[in-house]
A and B are shown apart, each in its own frame.
Chain A
Amino acid sequence: MTAGSTLIACRALVRRDLTLVWRRRGDALNPILFALIVVALFPLALGPEPEVLRRIAAGVIFVALLLAGLLALDTLFRSDYEDGSLEQLVLSPHPLALLLACKIAVHWFTTALPLIVAAPLLGELLHLADPVRPVLLAALLLATPLLSLIGAICVALTVGMHRSGMLLALLVLPLYVPVLIFGAGACNAAGNALPYAAPLLWLGAALVVALVVAPLACAAALRISLS
């Protein structure tokens, strides 16, 4: 196989996944609605005082987006597994890790990016402080691809199961802990007028490593669960 044909395969895969999402574009709104509802629950539970909400805003938005991403993870391989095209991907002569990286990228583009776009709105609901907003967006831009990549490994391990929802949460959430700490840590540092570059740089470094390693791990995991 030549390099050109691998490129064509990746392009075809991206176009196919985007078309599938576009045909069911109503579903793409669900993660945003979920995050909106979760964020709306916090003022109802804690009371509407702006000071209280401002202090927890960044952390709540981070957790809400993390949970929305967790729920959306299930759709990464589900329909492909059910119609058998996932097995065709594994059988194809092209490097599986590369194809999976394309799938993960499309999934991030269609589920996480809308959430990031909605994040400023969620911030207004919780009276997020103005200086924190750009830091929150930067942290989310770095953290959500990382979450998608880590999550994809665990989804690949649970791909054949019927009721994998709770189990997937149990597998994924402990691995999400460092991402949450650094992402929300940067926002809290910005809120307290402390330097926030270090956690963002750590997130970026972790993202670079995960971009290389996670698709390979995802491919290995997929081969185990489809064997």
Chain B
Amino acid sequence: MNVLTYWFHKLGSPPVFDRLARVLAPWCYGLALVLGAIALYGGLALAPADYQQGDAYRIIFIHVPAAWMSLFAYIFMAVNAFIALVWRIKLSEVLAMASAPTGAAFTFITLVTGSLWGKPMWGTWWTWDARLTSELVLLFLYLGVIGLYHAIEDRRQAARAAGFLALVGVVNLPIVHFSVNWWNTLHQGSTVRLLGPSKIDAAMLWPLLLMALATHLWFFGTLLARTRNGLLEIDGGKDWARSIVLASQPGAAGAATERSHV
């Protein structure tokens, strides 16, 4: 077995992943906070105001990275669900389900910031634009996956069922986007469009990209933390999980024996 496959197999084992995640998660959170703060300063203070939208455009530094993440998290979830269903890797099941709440949160942030942006620019909180509608459907897909996952008692079966739904959704999502585009263009003609970011100034671009990096790091931080929880939940009865819990609570071993005496 070559080194890479060996490393990959080893990473799939819950105790190894847990050790790795415990080390990596704080780094992800810390870097995300630092980079996010720099990006916010760059976006809100350093970047020039837009010649048409004034300062109102600055919400782009939250809105667009969150929108990117809402799609990235879904794709990440679907890829892991596929791996979990085909190769039955326990870690992938947990990873897929761990990315769902964060992805749903990013989708929600996208919708909220989008409607806050739409009020001054379009004069309305909500318009039945193709992109808005697809993002809303994406949120419903996330909520469906999360709802199904929590409705089934057996954790592993729940993860497989919800992962399957995520895969059905990933087939459906392009169709939804296409159909909504078609529906919108047939009925409304051209809506008021924002300036495309195609000719964005470098002073606006670097905070945007830095913020995208920060949101990715934040996503992986929450992913690692959630996956640790999920693995502990599934493997709760095993030795490695017990030893971690006992190590994190010095008094726990004593308390457990005391309780058994009472």
Residues of A within 8 A of B (CB): 153-154, 157-158, 160-161, 164, 167, 170-171, 173-175, 177-178, 181-182, 185, 188-189, 206, 217, 220-221, 224-225, 227
Asked if residues A217 and B168 are in contact (CB atoms below 8 Å), the reply is yes
A157, A173, A188, A189: which contacts B165 (Cβ < 8 A)? A157
Asked if residues B164 and A157 are in contact (CB atoms below 8 Å), the reply is yes
Q: How far is the CB of A56 from chain B (nearest CB, A)?
A: 14
Q: Which residues of A contact B137 (CB under 8 A)?
A: 174, 177
* A and B contact pairs by CB, cutoff 8 A, 30 listed: A154-B168, A157-B148, A157-B164, A157-B165, A158-B148, A161-B151, A164-B151, A167-B148, A170-B144, A170-B147, A174-B137, A174-B144, A174-B169, A174-B176, A175-B169, A178-B179, A178-B180, A181-B180, A181-B182, A185-B183, A188-B187, A206-B175, A217-B164, A217-B168, A220-B164, A221-B161, A224-B160, A224-B164, A227-B157, A227-B160
A158 to B157, CA, bound (A): 11
Q: Which residues of B contact A227 (CB under 8 A)?
A: 157, 160
Q: A161-B152, A174-B172, A225-B152 are in contact. List 13 more A-B contacts (CB 8 A).
A: A167-B144, A170-B143, A170-B147, A171-B148, A174-B137, A174-B176, A177-B137, A177-B180, A178-B176, A181-B179, A185-B183, A220-B164, A224-B157
CB neighbors of A among B166-214 (8 A): 168-169, 172, 175-176, 178-180, 182-183, 186-187
Q: How many residues of B contact A (CB 8 A)?
A: 26
Asked if residues B169 and A224 are in contact (CB atoms below 8 Å), the reply is no
Scan B143-156; emit 1 where CB is below 8 A from any A CB, else 0.
Answer: 11001100110000
Q: How far is the CB of B22 from chain A (nearest CB, A)?
A: 31
A161, A170, A224, A225: which contacts B140 (Cβ < 8 A)? A170
Task: Indicate whether B141 reaches chain A with its CB closer than 8 angstroms.
Answer: yes
A167 to B165, CA, bound (A): 12
Residue of A nearest to B181 (CB): A181
Residue of B nearest to A162 (CB): B151
Q: How far is the CB of B215 from chain A (nearest CB, A)?
A: 24
Residues of B within 8 A of A (CB): 137, 140-141, 143-144, 147-148, 151-152, 157, 160-161, 164-165, 168-169, 172, 175-176, 178-180, 182-183, 186-187
Asked if residues A158 and B175 are in contact (CB atoms below 8 Å), the reply is no
A220 to B86, CA, bound (A): 11
Q: Which residues of A contact B187 (CB under 8 A)?
A: 188
A185 to B172, CA, bound (A): 18
Most chain B CB neighbours (cut-off 10 Å) among A160, A171, A217, A225 = A171
A168 to B176, CA, bound (A): 19
A21 to B180, CA, bound (A): 37
Asked if residues B140 and A173 are in contact (CB atoms below 8 Å), the reply is yes
Q: Which residues of A contact B176 (CB under 8 A)?
A: 174, 177-178
Asked if residues B141 and A225 are in contact (CB atoms below 8 Å), the reply is no
A170 to B182, CA, bound (A): 24
A182 to B180, CA, bound (A): 9
B143, B160, B175: which contacts A178 (Cβ < 8 A)? B175
A161 to B149, CA, bound (A): 12
Q: Which residues of A contact B168 (CB under 8 A)?
A: 153-154, 175, 217
A177 to B172, CA, bound (A): 9
A157-B164, A225-B161 are contacts. A174–B141 as well, Cβ < 8 Å? yes
